[in-house]
Amino acid sequence: MPAANISEQISLAGTEASGTGNMKLMINGAVTLGTMDGANVEIHDAVGSDNIIIFGMNVDEVNAAKPSYQPINIYNSNPVIKAAIDRMQFGINGEVFNEIADSLKTQDTYMALADFDSYKNAQKYASECYRDQHKWNRMSLMNTANAGIFSADRSVEDYARDIWHLTK
């Protein structure tokens, strides 16, 4: 965590209850590349859109797309995705990954194919930001500087006041 440049928090929106690993990476200056899910949302609020790299569907978009989701249609229409999944089935260093490939094509429970292009663009944008060292260092520092809200003291005080209704 102290050595990370990027904190990838790539759960499908609506599937991660919270996430605290993202906060540990943030306070150490890693820039979050993630979905609007769990505590990524709070990190986004704390650092602002310029200092986090968000991709993918939000919860409302996931809920709207899920009932009629057919990953095979994306596989058939997106040549990059098709090549990647086909490679799993042709074999990588003699290993085939048929189960993963088939589950992506037929179920894709976490809608990875639906968010793939957006993820790819986010990675490209991250590389562009990183090449501008002044910009990257600023993003990094803004993460450390705004991590205070995630302190355990603040969190426990909130619980004591709002949930447990305790007086000191």
The amino acid that residue 112 corresponds to is: A
Phi/psi of residue 34, each to 5°? -160, 180
Q: 18 vs 103, which CB is nearer to ligand PLP?
A: 18
DSSP 20: S
151 part of the interface to ligand PLP, by CB under 6 A: no
Q: Please, what is the minimum distance in Å from the beta carbon of residue 3 to ligand PLP?
A: 15
Tokens describing residue 140: 């990094």
Stretches 19-27, 43-51, 52-60, 79-87: which one binds ligand PLP (CB under 6 A)?
A: 19-27
Report the distance separating Cα 32 and Cα 43, nearest Å. 8
Over its C-alpha atoms, the chain yields an Rg (Å, rounded) of 19
Q: 21 vs 148, which CB is nearer to ligand PLP?
A: 21
Report the distance separating Cα 16 and Cα 37, nearest Å. 6
20 part of the interface to ligand PLP, by CB under 6 A: yes
Instruction: Give the contacts of 136 (CB within 8 A, at least 6 positions apart).
Output: 5, 31, 129, 130
21 part of the interface to ligand PLP, by CB under 6 A: yes
Among 4, 8, 24, 140, binds ligand PLP (CB under 6 A): 24
What is the total count of residues that contact ligand PLP (CB under 6 A)?
4
Q: Please, what is the minimum distance in Å from the beta carbon of residue 110 to ligand PLP?
A: 15
Which runs of E-coded beta strand occur in the chain? 6-9, 31-34, 53-54
Among 7, 13, 14, 19, binds ligand PLP (CB under 6 A): 19
DSSP 16: -
Q: 89 to 118, contacts with ligand PLP by CB under 6 A?
A: none
Where does this chain bind ligand PLP (CB under 6 A)?
19-21, 24
